[in-house]
Amino acid sequence: IDLSQPAAWHYLVEGFHAPEAWGVWSSGKYAKLILPVDLAGAAEVELNISMVVKVFPGVVAHAPVLQITMDGKVIGFVLFRTSAKNEQQINFTGRIKKPVCQFEFNISHTGSPAFLSQSGDHRELGFGLCALSVAVSSVMEDMQDESSTQIAGKFWGLSENEAVDEVPKRAHEGKMA
């Protein structure tokens, strides 16, 4: 999906600024995106999603966290650090049984370039969606199972020295730095 084109507005239903040449900024801490999906007669389809996300550079020092949900289920959390690359590619798979898939994004920190004296831009910026691609495949009837629709929360942006099981505890306690 080309997020720089005006047609992207059909997908960006809430909480986004106008698309720019590189992608689109969220206009606050919450944003919602919908994707129409051609079920092509299948009872269930599998979506392979790839996104490139970033945060407003003025808030990276606060170690922001981006939560992503798909149709009400938490997909995972993207952790941003000053010690890591701001643009992060995330990939995940999920199954749906309806012709529209809804993604919700919640970012812990936002900022304004004007507030940080970086420019005259007074917009509130949260996360940037730089790229989005979706591959759809049918799920065979014998492979359909309610347990397959349960998605375990993932963490992106971890360094090699961070234990995956420690991050949820620290995130819950508000100790993301």
As a whole number of angstroms, the distance between CA 68 and CA 151 comes to 12
| Residue 10 token pair | 């059909």
Q: Report the pLDDT value the prediction gives residue 73, as an integer from 0 to 100.
A: 92
Q: Is the CB of residue 1 less than 8 Å from the CB of residue 8? A: yes
Q: Report the pLDDT value the prediction gives residue 173, as an integer from 0 to 100.
A: 41
Contacts of 151 (CB under 8 A, 6+ apart): 70, 73, 74, 75, 92, 94
Q: What is the pLDDT along the chain (177 residues), one digit of tens a residue?
A: 888 887 888 899 999 999 999 999 999 999 999 999 888 788 889 999 999 999 988 889 899 999 999 999 999 999 999 988 899 999 999 999 999 999 999 999 998 888 767 678 889 999 999 999 999 888 866 554 544 444 557 888 876 554 444 444 444 444 333
Q: Provide the CA 60 distance to its chain's centre, in angstroms.
A: 16
Q: Report the pLDDT value the prediction gives residue 83, as an integer from 0 to 100.
A: 87
Contacts of 68 (CB under 8 A, 6+ apart): 74, 75, 76, 77, 78, 90, 103, 104, 105
Q: Report the pLDDT value the prediction gives residue 15, as an integer from 0 to 100.
A: 96
Please tell me the pTM assigned to this model. 0.81
